[in-house]
Amino acid sequence: MCLCVLLGVAWHVIFPSPHPPPTPAPPLPNDPPATPSLAPSCPLPATAPCHPSATPILLTFVRYAITRRESIMDNEIKWLWRTTQTEDFYATYTISYQLTLATREPLLEDHLRQALTHLFRKVPLLRVCFGKRDGEMWIREMAEEALDFEVVSNVPREDIRESLQAYRYDLMKGPLWCVKLLSEPPSSPVVPEGVDMTKFCHVYTLFLGLHHGITDGNSNMRICGFLVQILEAVLGRKDIDDAEQLGVYVSDERTQQLQKEYVASLEADPELRSKVVDEIQSRYGKYSLIKSTFKGVGEKVAKTGVLEMDLDADSTIAFIKRCRAEGVTVNSAFIAATSVSVVDLLVDGGLEQDTYDIRSDHVLNARRYWAGDTSQYLGCHLLPLMPVVAKTPRNITGKFWDFARSVHQELQKKFNEGGPLLEEAGRHFMSANTDFDPTFQYEFCLTNMGNVTNLVTEGGDNLQALHVIRTVAMNTVPCTWSILLHTFRSRLILALTYNTSFVNSEMARKFCDGIFYRIREAL
């Protein structure tokens, strides 16, 4: 049962906002009592978490919605800013996050209603939508408080994820996010070290879908953390103050200003300008080796395939320690292992060379180039894709860490010179090439968020966050695959999302298995 419901309620949290929302409406005098649990009491031993079952929530929400609607209909619409190039580019993608949670007490419908209400009221990013103003697309605040929420059961997790990848938000009214709670736990939930499942025996899977045009991975992981902490407070029966906001929603004006500065620097330095333009032009006419080698292996109708893999905690910790000892980042070593796995796949496909130019593109957080403390800023703050070419040997035996160091040096050079900003500035001096678009001719794209444990948080006395994974829809763009990588609670977590019109599930499995094989081989 999917419904769009209007909200109320309150909480205390971390970041004060310079623009607090309107004072929340008081609770209704005849609100119904707490509704039945989504899960029964837990009589099972530690090895068998309880299995919750969904119960209807329609009457509770609809009555509350009508009352809140009357109190906010007359508010004047607040226009925020005209959509930027960044927001327009990433609006193509649909992203979803999957949180596995364990609680001490059964999760009640009323707990969820309260938590999602607070989340809406406390996170400014979640209260916006799009609107046309003077013929241009703008981001504005929603005219009504609304929540898109659904409790489901007896549905495979893959089906829920697939539905989110094709989700269509009401762009002009909002909300631009939705929540689906699967009231049945995974059969074998990942249990981080130190979590006593005899105490946290009620396991749930929560799906969070978001429109990429208003948000990015950093914001999304923070939102997951906000939700974890709000649920913890609700379950702990703590007072919550909605007037205090979580984060500050800002446009990418700082990034646009930086871009202008890079254009000015190239105007003043003809030698650097020529070098940057030559590097961009060197990619024209070069097609993806994966696409060229594996022709006709995909499906006629493009879909998004997803493959999830975790590296166990012991191997993850050992990998991180080895990277430090070898003088490279985990990111650089992972790119090296992934590049080698691409070569292994190409050799299997019949393309045999001594070395291969493996191009990988990287999604960077624009905040890394902003001045000052950026920890509170929410929004879509991503830079254009940053291409990096690694000359990858076919025979890597005994040479992996030397190769990883060469990848590391190239990456650090790109990072330090502001790679994506510099390249985008270079395009300012080039005429458009309509014959060939090199944008999606990479062998893989990587979005690595590093350790997100502090962003998502681990939970508290009443709730534990066991696992988090993120995916993105790839069927709308002409690319092969994208890797979404992060570490949570000492585990390296990978989601490979791929376009089924270019690659098939067997290739995806070989690719991921190869990455993890190369990592373990290098330990």
pLDDT tens by residue, 399-438: 999 999 999 999 999 999 998 999 999 999 998 877 888 9
pTM of the model: 0.85
Here the CATH number for the domain that contains residue 369 is 3.30.559.30
**Is the domain of 54 the same as that of 162?**
yes
Find residue 130's DSSP bridge partners.
139
The answer on 176 and 93 residing in a single domain is yes
In a domain, residue 335? The reply is: yes
Same structural domain, 228 and 355:
no
Average pLDDT of the chain?
Answer: 86
pLDDT tens digit sequence for 139-196: 999 999 999 988 888 899 999 999 998 899 999 999 999 999 988 777 778 888 888 8
For residue 266, being part of any structural domain is answered with no
Q: Among 249, 278, 303, which residue terminates a domain?
A: 249
Q: Give residue 75's pLDDT.
A: 56
d(CA 401, CA 519): 11
Distance CA 31, CA 35 (A): 11
Q: Is there a domain that residue 73 lies in?
A: yes
User: What is the span of the domain harbouring residue 386?
Assistant: 287-414+434-456+472-522
The answer on 332 and 232 residing in a single domain is no
Q: What are phi and psi of 350, to 5 degrees?
A: 100, 0
- Which helix (H) or strand (E) segment holds residue 5: the answer is strand 2-5
pLDDT score of 434: 73
Residue 14 belongs to a domain: no
State the Cα–Cα distance between residues 348 and 346, nearest whole angstrom: 5
Same domain assignment for residues 232 and 320: no
Q: d(Cα 215, Cα 218) in Å, to the nearest integer?
A: 8
pLDDT of residue 312: 95
pLDDT tens-digit profile of 41-97? Answer: 343 333 333 433 333 332 223 323 323 433 344 458 899 999 998 898 888 888 999
**Alpha helix segments (H runs only) across 399-504:** 400-416, 419-427, 453-456
Are 212 and 75 found together in one domain?
A: yes
Identify the burial level of 158 via C-beta atoms within 10 angstroms of its C-beta, where 0-12 means exposed, 13-18 middle and 19 or more buried: exposed
The residue among 12 and 113 whose pLDDT is bigger is 113
In the predicted structure, residue 29 carries a pLDDT above the cut 80: no
Q: Is the same domain home to 291 and 244?
A: no
Widest pairwise Cα distance in the chain = 76
The answer to whether position 13 is within a domain reads no
Q: What digits encode the pLDDT tens for the residues 347-386?
A: 999 999 999 999 999 999 999 999 999 999 999 999 999 9
In a domain, 390, yes or no: yes
Give the C-alpha separation, 481 to 338, whole Å: 12
Q: Is residue 379 part of a domain?
A: yes
Report pLDDT digits (tens) over 293-334.
999 999 999 999 999 999 999 999 999 999 999 999 999 999
Residue 3 binned pLDDT confidence (cut-offs 50, 70, 90) = very low
- Of 249, 274, 303, the position where a domain reaches its end is 249
Residues 70 and 183 in one domain: yes
The number of distinct structural domains making up the chain is 2
Same domain, 76 and 205: yes
Q: For residue 209, what is the domain's CATH number?
A: 3.30.559.10
Instruction: Tell me: do 226 and 323 sit in the same domain.
Output: no
> Tell me, what's the pLDDT at 185?
76
> Tokens 């977590």 label which residue?
493
Where does residue 64 rank: exposed (0-12), middle (13-18), buried (19+ CB within 10 A)? buried
Is residue 522 within 8 Å of 333, Cβ to Cβ? yes
Contact 171, 32 (CB under 8 A): no
| Domain membership flag for residue 35 | no
- Are 98 and 218 found together in one domain? yes
Domain end (from 249, 272, 305): 249
Residues 292 and 233 in one domain: no
pLDDT surpasses 90 at 25: no
